[in-house]
A and B are shown apart, each in its own frame.
Chain A
Amino acid sequence: MILIKCPYCGERDQSEFTSGGEAHVVRPKNPDSLSDKDWGEYVFYRNNPKGIFYERWVHSHGCKKWFNAVRNTSTDQILKVYKVNEKRPDFSDFENTLKSPSGEPSVGSGNFAVKK
């Protein structure tokens, strides 16, 4: 269980939060003007990277506020949290962070616990 820092309440256990999937997917202003394909992509398609991921969380058993977080999905490290109205931090801010404990490949899983 990881620790998550709610921007309003501070650090709390993960069990107090609910994940809300990818962040910065904005609901189109005029849905009717979108093609079926574009609308379908908004409704059904989300990124699922191994590595740096911008995602939404809600402090559901706390202040009930939604906020955004940048998490490294291969290590579960939360690199930054920020409020919904704050600017999306630049990807380059996190490029130098440890991507995985053992330098795993960017796709796939497996055990890489042994240092070569």
Chain B
Amino acid sequence: MSAINNNCEYISKKQIKITFDGKTYQAYEGDTIASALLRNNIRLVGRSFKYHRPRGIYTCGIEEPNALVQIISEHNEPNTRATIKRVYDGMEITSQNRWPSLRYDFGAINNILSPIFSAGFYYKTFMGPKGFWKNIYEPLIRRSAGLGKPPKNFRSKSTHQYHNTDVVIIGGGLSGLVAAKKFINTKYKVLLIEQDSYLGGILKNSNKVKTINGLIPQEWISETEEQIFNSKNITILKNTLVTTYNFTNHLIALEDKCAGKKIDLNKPELTLHKIRTSNTIIANGHIERFISFRNNDLPGVMLASSFEKYIHRYGVVPEKEPVIFTNNSSSLSLLKTLISLGCKPKAYVDSRKKDNIETEIKKILKEKDILFFSDAEIEGCDGNKKVETITIRQGKTFSKIKSPMLCVSGGYNPDIHLFTQSKGLVKWDKNILSFKPDTPFQKTITLGSTSGNYNFKKLCDEINEKLSILKTKKVLLDINLNVPNKFSIKELWETKKKRISRWSKSFIDLHNDVTTKDLRQAITEGFDRIEHLKRYTTNSMGTDQGKISSINSLAIVSKMLKKEISEVGTTTYRPPYAPLSFAAIAGRSTYEFYDPERKTSIHSWHLKNNAIFEDVGQWKRPWYFKTYENETMHQAVQRESKMLRENAGILDGSTLGKIEIKGRDALEFVNLMYTNAFSKMKPMTSRYAMMLGEDGMIKDDGIICKISDQHFIATTTSSGAPKVLADMEEYLQTEWPHLQVYLNSITEQFSTFNISGPKTREIMMKVFPDIDFSNDAFPFMTFKNFDYKETKIRIMRASFTGELGYEIYITPKFGLDLWEEIFSCGKEFNLIPYGTETMHLLRAEKGYIVIGQETDGTVTPIDLNYNWMIGKNKKDFIGKRSLSRPDTSREDRKQLVGLSPINKKDIIEEGQHIVELNELPKKITNPIKYLGHVSSGYHSPNLNHSIGLAMIRGGKNLLGQKFFVTATGKTKNIPVEIVNPVFIDPENKRLTS
């Protein structure tokens, strides 16, 4: 039975109600889920990961491997550590990984089948047959393994906060507080970070320390905290866990803003602190480790210092008469605590020889008449879903003791996780039998038990000495102890098993259900490198990262390999220290804040006219316009395309990238960046141009407008604009700093409209009655500037549809006015708005390519038959030399062709393969010869059949030949003819009409 420690000052006496698996329980404000459950005598809290074995509360903190629960009242938050999550009134909790109920779990059959679940089980078992993984294994594993269920309908309000400080102290325990004291009222900006809601660490978790400077620990903590709090240069963060220690002293810490409170939907529940500091002091203490013995996972087995922490920190005595099993001197403090509360351990089992056991321990045990076993160990324990009988081995004799709880201490590990994350080197210490920090890689100082110093009396000297480089004042510390000053320990990692039944297991990793037998098996199979062994057995790969057991596994493995533990080494400690919620990482960058939306000045008009939008980069562009309720995309695009070629259409092209290129050497620069020759080009004319990479492959295209030799405007693809500008900048700064050229992004300075179709000239003449749009006055690929109302406009004769067309540039301020003016003038000519899908269809009919559709980073202008765009007489331009590389000038490269179906009803789909077979074999045994792929496929309303653009090997020489195109879900292929990719107006009569 549990009991209450009324002397506990860290927990309020305010009673609240929580529910666990549907039943209501009483708890105190300040309890964790675990302390509340123990208060109510609940020991079984979950089922294990692989074997579904009953599990209880093993620890009292962040290191917990077992007691993971799901919080129903917090959007189903799964895998919550019951040992750190604080309760509040009305909190709803359920256990995890059990079906149909915690007591009767179906998956426990895995435990009986355990011989097949041994090391490497996943790798070995699920190798075949083909198709089994997807249909059988994966769904099965997903249901029976894994922990908890994902949260539902949760919109996080987490925020990020940034800090720049001089000193960060991680851990507000004894060492952290003494260190912080040294910085009181100094010039240093200090951040003191504590994971718990109280400062004090070991002082409040145990009775190891009797007095400090004459004060009882609680008084000393309060006094010190007040001094630190009043010092303006020090900030204290509580409920905050440092999870990550990066290069250049960059720390990430997670603050729980609603610890012990119900989530307020209007406030951030988590804050992620991103801290840049000059010095880091790690004082986050140590973690107790367990010992492997038979059934060391039964509910009722608990770490000794955790047991003690429940008494001092939460006022719960989990059990009045436990058995204590230890291999070191520190368990004296638990013994004393229990005696002081009038409780009496059933037995005290110490693996050390009697002579090596402290006299004080022996004296108490004798006085209180407690069963004492020295030079002894726990062989194992048994019971139904809880510890009932404990078997003790002393020499050759076995004793059985009935007790529901067993407290285990296998020694302490300095918490080196953050230190190794910072790339510091650790070293094996024979006195404490653990790794401790050795050489720091950054400006990192470790203090107290983190640094392997378990001697309270030496703590003050250590802190004064290590912090002397920061020139702080000396502090004095007079500590009186309840435990021996000198830490003594005997090596013990695993006890000998007496009998072996299938159910009996000796665990090394409770979280992932790895047994010591699995370690042996893995080594026998050749996985003798620690990093391999870890992955093969999944040892210490759970969410607890083996905090209480990883050193044990290294020790056991080193014994099996007959090597020194430092030779075996540790596995890599990687951030985060403890699981970090994705909500905290994302912060406010979710939903509408995830990525900005860019809208053109015409956006409101598009909305009013039922535009369906497409995302192009961050831009919202009309994809097509719906003219009636049930109009499908196909119908709309066919209508828009036909109407444009009959009358006229207008496209909002404002998203097109525009870069202004100015300066003395602008002409030379443009000649170097683009393939075309610009020198002989007349001012106020424009040219379709291509930009290559140095490898000769097409990167971007656009129209270059030449105002003068010192002034150009380049347009780019909508999504390529930032990259093109960055590339131009790079060449200017790094390769040609002697060129006097200035670049400026002017994309957003203009609204751009592309108007085209046979009736365009009439519409333009009506909108701009003063301008002469005749072919002679305004030929194809020229542009002019005009005054228009109170602003200026630029009109260029250009087209991406193959019809007569103009591009109008106007300041966005007047963009919408002009757009509406054009529509009122265009009404009598049946002018329609069209979207990007129609634009793509029309350009495909005309054989114009789209970057990223026909090209994919492996296509040269020659592959597209665009040789005319290459300024062959230019000495140099980016990519020129690569065009004559043997691979780039191969005859059988994939080249652009058009596809026309032989049977006009067949549909050519984008992305399909071009092959020589008219039908695919039922069973494919040999690779089918692949000739190329369909890069664009549309139904052309103007030709009334399907058309395609394709990239085919040696395509230039295949005109007129017949091949086949594969089709979705069919084995019969579509016969097609290779044709000229220009389907409409190959003579460019319409373009220049």
Considering only residues 553-575 of chain B, those with a C-beta below 8 Å from chain A are: 566-567, 569-573
Among B248, B250, B276, B427, point to the contact of A114 (Cβ < 8 A).
B427
CB pair A111 B695 closer than 8 Å: no
A114→B435 contact, CB < 8 A:
yes
The answer to the question of B426 belonging to the interface, with a C-beta cut-off of 8 Å to chain A, is: yes
- B882 partner residues in chain A, CB cutoff 8 A: 39, 43
Q: How far is the CA of A27 from the CA of B572 in the complex (A)?
A: 41
The complex places the Cα of A1 from the Cα of B726 at a distance, in Å, of: 23
Q: How far is the CB of B116 from chain A (nearest CB, A)?
A: 31
Interface size of A in residues (CB-CB distance below 8 Å): 36
Asked whether A113 and B573 contact (CB < 8 A) given A31-B876, A36-B886, A39-B881, the answer is: yes
B595 to chain A, nearest CB (A): 15
| CB-defined contacts of B566 to chain A, threshold 8 Å | 114-116
A31 touches B423 (CB 8 A): no
A85 to B885, CA, bound (A): 32
B795 on interface, CB distance cutoff 8 Å: no
Among B654-662, B730-738, B898-906, which stretch is in contact with chain A? B730-738
Of all chain B residues, which has the CB nearest A34?
B881
Within the complex, the shortest CB–CB distance from A79 to chain B, in Å, comes to 13
- Asked if A114 and B733 make an inter-chain contact with CB atoms under 8 angstroms apart, the answer reads no
Among A34, A56, A66, A111, residue most surrounded by chain B Cβ atoms (within 10 Å): A111
* C-alpha spacing A112/B572, complex, angstroms: 9
- B441, CB-defined interface residue at 8 Å: yes
From B425, B726, B875, B876, give the contact of A113 (CB < 8 A): B425
Q: Say if the beta carbon of A19 comes within 8 Å of chain B.
A: no
Q: Taking the complex as formed, is B779 at the interface, i.e. its CB lies under 8 A from any CB of chain A?
A: no
Q: Are A114 and B885 in contact, CB atoms less than 8 angstroms apart? A: no
Nearest A-chain residue to B422, judged by Cβ: A101
Cα(A102)–Cα(B423), bound, Å: 9
Distance between B580 CB and nearest chain A CB, rounded to angstroms = 15
Query: Is B154 on the interface with A (CB-CB < 8 A)?
Result: no
B729 sits at the interface (CB 8 A)? yes
Pairwise interchain contact B881-A114, C-beta atoms closer than 8 A: no
Given the complex of chains A and B, what is the CA–CA distance between A66 and B438 in angstroms? 39
List the B side residues contacting A102 at CB < 8 Å.
425
Asked if B428 is at the interface (CB within 8 A of a chain A CB), the reply is yes
Q: A31: which B residues are within 8 A, CB to CB?
A: 876, 880-881
CB contacts (< 8 Å) of B427 on chain A: these are 114-115
Q: A1-B250, A36-B885, A56-B734 are in contact. Are A43 and B695 (CB under 8 A)?
A: yes
The answer to whether residues A39 and B885 also contact, given A3-B248, A66-B730 and a CB cut-off of 8 A, is yes
Tell me the interface secondary structure of chain A in the complex.
loop
Given A1-B247, A114-B428, A115-B439: A84 touches B737 (CB 8 Å cut-off): yes
What is the bound-complex CA distance between A52 and B737, given in angstroms? 27
Q: Is the CB of B439 within 8 A of A66?
A: no
Question: B202 → chain A, closest Cβ, in Å?
Answer: 26
A84 pairs with B881, CB closer than 8 A = no
A111-B569 CB under 8 A given contacts A27-B735, A43-B694, A66-B734:
yes
Query: Are B876 and A114 within 8 A (Cβ)?
Result: no
CA distance A110 to B875 in the complex (A): 49
Complex contact B730–A115 (CB within 8 A): no
In contact, B734 and A84 (Cβ under 8 angstroms): yes
Query: What is the CA–CA distance of A39 and B878 in the complex, to the nearest angstrom?
Result: 13
Measured CA separation A17–B733 after assembly (Å): 16
Q: Counting CB contacts under 8 A, is A108 at the interface?
A: no
Q: Which residues of B contact A55 (CB under 8 A)?
A: none
Inter-chain CB contacts under 8 Å: number: 92
Q: Determine if B733 and A66 form an interchain contact, defined as CB atoms under 8 angstroms apart.
A: yes
Q: Which residues of B contact A101 (CB under 8 A)?
A: 423-425, 439, 441
Q: Which residues of B contact A116 (CB under 8 A)?
A: 566-567
The smallest beta-carbon distance between B205 and chain A, in angstroms, is 29
List, in ascending order, chain A residues with CB within 8 A of B567's CB: 116
Nearest chain A CB to B515 CB, angstrom units: 24
B880-896 interface (Cβ within 8 A of A): 880-882, 885-886
CA A26 to CA B726, docked complex, whole Å: 18
Q: A64 on the interface (CB 8 Å rule)?
A: yes
A113 near B734: Cβ-Cβ < 8 Å: no
In the complex, whether A10 has a CB less than 8 A from a CB of chain B is no
Indicate if the CB atoms of A113 and B569 lie closer than 8 Å.
yes
CB distance A1 to B246 under 8 Å? yes
**Contact: B730 with A58, CB < 8 Å?**
yes
Q: Which residues of B contact A34 (CB under 8 A)?
A: 881
* Interface presence of B420 (CB below 8 A): yes
Chain A residues whose C-beta falls within 8 Å of the C-beta of B428 in the assembled complex: 114
**CA of A20 to CA of B734 in the docked complex: distance in angstroms?**
11
Within 8 Å by CB of B570, from A1, A77, A111, lies A111
- B531 proximal to A (CB < 8 A): yes
A114 with B570, Cβ < 8 A, contacts A31-B876, A39-B882 known: yes
Report how far A114 CA is from B434 CA in the complex, Å: 12
Bound CA span A7–B567, Å = 44
Asked if A76 CB lies within 8 Å of chain B CBs, one says: yes
- Report A88 CB to chain B, min CB distance, Å: 14
| Any B CB within 8 A of the CB of A32 | yes
Which residues of the partner chain B approach A9 to less than 8 Å between Cβ atoms? Answer: none
Cβ of B425: which chain A residues have Cβ within 8 Å of it?
101-102, 113-115
Decide yes or no whether A60 CB sits under 8 A from chain B.
Answer: yes
What chain B residues lie within 8 Å of A85 (beta carbons)? 737
Q: A40-B885, A111-B572 are in contact. Are A76 and B247 (CB under 8 A)?
A: yes
Closest to A32 in B: B881
Q: Which residue of A lies closest to B437 (CB)?
A: A115
Q: Is A106 an interface residue (CB 8 A)?
A: no
Interface 1/0s, chain A 58-73, versus B by CB < 8 A?
1010001110000000
Find chain A residues with CB under 8 A from B250 CB.
1-3
Chain B residues in 8 Å Cβ range of A30: 876
For window 698-744 of B, CB contacts with A under 8 Å fall at 726, 729-730, 733-735, 737
Q: 1/0 contact trace for A1-43 toward B, CB 8 Å?
A: 1110000000000000000100000110011101010011011
Within B841-889, the residues touching A (CB, 8 Å) are: 875-876, 880-882, 885-886
CA distance A100 to B295 in the complex (A): 43
- Chain A 71-110, CB-CB to B under 8 Å as 1, else 0, gives 0000111000000110000000000000001100000001
Closest to A42 in B: B694
B276 and A3: CB pair below 8 A? yes
Residues of B within 8 A of A113 (CB): 420, 423-426, 569-570, 572-573
- Nearest B residue to A39 via CB reads B881
Determine how close the nearest CB of chain A comes to the CB of B192; give it in whole angstroms: 23
Q: How far does the alpha carbon of A66 sit from the alpha carbon of B737 in the complex, in Å?
A: 11
Q: Which residues of B contact A56 (CB under 8 A)?
A: 734
Mark contacts of B190-213 with chain A using CB atoms, 8 A cut-off: 1 yes-contact digit, 0 otherwise: 000000000000000000000000
Tell me, in angstroms, the Cα distance from A53 to B773 when the chains sit together: 60
Residues on B with C-beta less than 8 A from A77 are: 247
Q: A1-B250, A115-B425 are in contact. List 14 more A-B contacts (CB 8 A).
A: A27-B694, A30-B876, A32-B876, A34-B881, A42-B694, A56-B734, A66-B733, A75-B441, A77-B247, A111-B569, A111-B570, A113-B420, A115-B439, A115-B566
25 contacts between A and B (CB under 8 A): A2-B246, A2-B248, A26-B735, A27-B735, A30-B876, A32-B875, A32-B876, A39-B882, A39-B885, A43-B695, A56-B734, A58-B730, A75-B247, A102-B425, A111-B572, A113-B423, A113-B424, A113-B572, A114-B426, A114-B427, A114-B569, A114-B570, A115-B426, A115-B439, A116-B566
List the 4 closest A-B pairs by CB distance, nearest first.
A31-B881, A101-B441, A3-B248, A115-B425
